[in-house]
């Protein structure tokens, strides 16, 4: 399943926040958002990926970009993961119905977890850029996101 | 940078709390290479990596970057402040200056600059080694030594 491509509007979707609210397509509007889909909380590669993004979070913020981590783990697991890593990147849970949002973005792995993928949306909710790692063990460097921001002129 | 002039140039992004970085470092000593080390401390994974990087740069202000660097990799289990002071003392550094330098904005900026440079170069894990068109990320493997030996 290929990830959603640049130029396509983000699909309708619903993800859970730790506070128990829903995060939907509406929440993408008015700003630049990067959804960081990762396979599992606590798996070693994900740990480094989000930890490294956290190190340059202020650079993303300076460019008006908000990052969210997205996985099929429950909000409780995601919160424990955040606390363990000491990261502030907000997490969104695709737990119920499991994988529905990932499927809508074209990033659901056949194994029932998100591919390691990045989807950037613009203030109008249209996809500006997307990337999927060739396999879930491959880490997309933060440079890919910065390069994409340069390319779209942000 | 250290190593014989004219030897193959290698740039390593690493952090002092990363076991694979220490493994890589140990093997790099066995090869004739001109090595540049750049700091890539990921605090969430390695809580003392940042402090260790700052300390190495502070030692560098007194001309002791590489001895301090080696002393850090030689004993990754001891990276708390008293251990950093002990290393500085063993190397005969001015401790007051060392402590002021490792907390200074200039040293922090230096480490930050290395990190940002690593991000721009596509570093996504430690260690990541670049050498004349070669890029290797993560745990060092035998194929890497073969590639570096070929020169």
Q: B108 is written with which tokens? A: 């922090």
- Cβ(A57)–Cβ(A85) below 8 Å: no
Nearest by CB to A48, which of B42, B115, B119?
A: B42
CATH of the domain at A108: 3.40.30.10
Instruction: Supply the range of the domain harboring residue A78.
Output: 14-151
Model confidence, pTM: 0.86
Residue A140 domain flag: yes
Supply the DSSP string of A96-117, one letter for each residue.
TTTTHHHHHTT-B-TTSSB-SE
How many residue contacts between A and B have a Cβ separation below 8 Å?
A: 50
Interface test with B, best of A43, A51, A55 (most B CBs within 10 A): A55
Nearest one of A66, A112, A111, A110 to A92, comparing CA atoms:
A66
Q: Which of A37-51, A65-79, B121-135 has the lowest mean pLDDT?
A: A37-51
Identify the residue with better confidence: A146 or A138. Answer: A146
In chain B, the number of structural domains is: 1
Residue A52 domain flag: yes
Interface test with B, best of A46, A118, A142, A149 (most B CBs within 10 A): A142
Non-local (6+) Cβ contacts of B65 within 8 A are B56, B57, B59
Instruction: Supply the range of the domain harboring residue B98.
Output: 8-150
Mean pLDDT of B102-127: 96
Q: Is A51 an interface residue toward B (CB < 8 Å)?
A: yes
Residue B1 domain flag: no
CATH of the domain at B90: 3.40.30.10
Residue A9 domain flag: no
Q: Is A52 an interface residue toward B (CB < 8 Å)?
A: yes
Neighbours of A100 (CB within 10 A): 15
| Residue A131 distance to chain B (closest CA, Å) | 14
Residue A141 domain flag: yes
Q: What is the largest CA-CA distance in chain B?
A: 45
> What is the pairing mode between strands A65-71 and A90-93?
parallel
Query: What pLDDT does A46 receive?
Result: 66
Query: What pLDDT does A153 receive?
Result: 86
**Would you say residue B142 has pLDDT above 90?**
no
B15: pLDDT confidence band, cut at 50, 70 and 90? very high
Residue A7 domain flag: no
**Would you say residue B33 has pLDDT above 70?**
yes
Residue B42 domain flag: yes
In chain A, the number of structural domains is: 1
What interface predicted TM-score (ipTM) does this complex get? 0.77
A31: pLDDT confidence band, cut at 50, 70 and 90? very high
pLDDT tens, position by position, B46-69: 899 999 999 999 999 999 999 999
Mean pLDDT of A30-34: 97
- Cβ(A15)–Cβ(A48) below 8 Å: no
Residue B142 domain flag: yes
Mean pLDDT of A119-139: 92
Residue tagged active-site, from A15, A35, A46, A65: A46
Q: A151 is written with which tokens? A: 């390319």
C-alpha A129, offset from chain centre = 12
Residue B39 domain flag: yes
The burial of B62, by beta-carbon neighbours within 10 Å (0-12 exposed, 13-18 middle, 19 or more buried), is given as middle
Query: What pLDDT does B151 receive?
Result: 57
Residue B48 domain flag: yes
Residue B3 domain flag: no
pLDDT tens, position by position, B116-138: 999 999 999 999 999 998 999 98
């Amino acid at each position: 399943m290929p990830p959603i491509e640049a130029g396509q509007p983000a699909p309708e979707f619903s993800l859970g926040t730790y506070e128990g609210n829903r995060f939907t397509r509406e929440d993408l509007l008015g700003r630049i958002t990067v959804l960081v889909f990762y396979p599992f909380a606590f798996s070693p590669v994900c740990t480094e990926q989000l930890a490294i993004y956290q190190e340059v979070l202020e650079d993303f913020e300076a460019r008006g970009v908000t990052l969210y981590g997205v996985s099929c783990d429950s909000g409780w697991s995601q919160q424990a993961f955040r606390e363990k890593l000491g990261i502030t990147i907000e997490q969104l849970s695709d737990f119920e119905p499991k994988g529905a949002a990932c499927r809508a973005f074209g990033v659901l792995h056949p194994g029932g977890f998100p591919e390691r993928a990045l989807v950037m949306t613009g203030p109008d909710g249209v996809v500006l850029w997307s990337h999927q790692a060739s396999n879930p063990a491959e880490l997309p460097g933060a440079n890919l996101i910065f390069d994409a921001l340069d390319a779209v002129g942000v | 940078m250290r190593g014989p002039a004219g030897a193959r140039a290698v740039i390593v992004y690493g952090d002092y709390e990363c076991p694979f970085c220490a493994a890589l470092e140990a093997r790099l000593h066995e090869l004739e290479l001109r090595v540049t080390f750049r700091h890539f401390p990921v605090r969430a994974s390695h809580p003392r990596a940042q402090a260790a990087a700052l300390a190495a740069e502070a030692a560098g202000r007194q001309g002791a970057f590489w001895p301090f660097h080696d002393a850090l990799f030689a004993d990754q289990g001891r990276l708390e402040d008293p251990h950093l002071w002990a290393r500085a003392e063993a190397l005969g550094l001015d401790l007051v200056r060392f402590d002021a330098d490792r907390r200074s904005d200039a040293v922090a900026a230096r480490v930050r600059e290395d990190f940002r440079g690593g991000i721009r170069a596509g570093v996504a894990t430690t260690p990541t080694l670049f050498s004349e068109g070669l890029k290797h990320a993560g745990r060092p493997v035998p194929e890497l030594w073969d590639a570096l030996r070929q020169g």
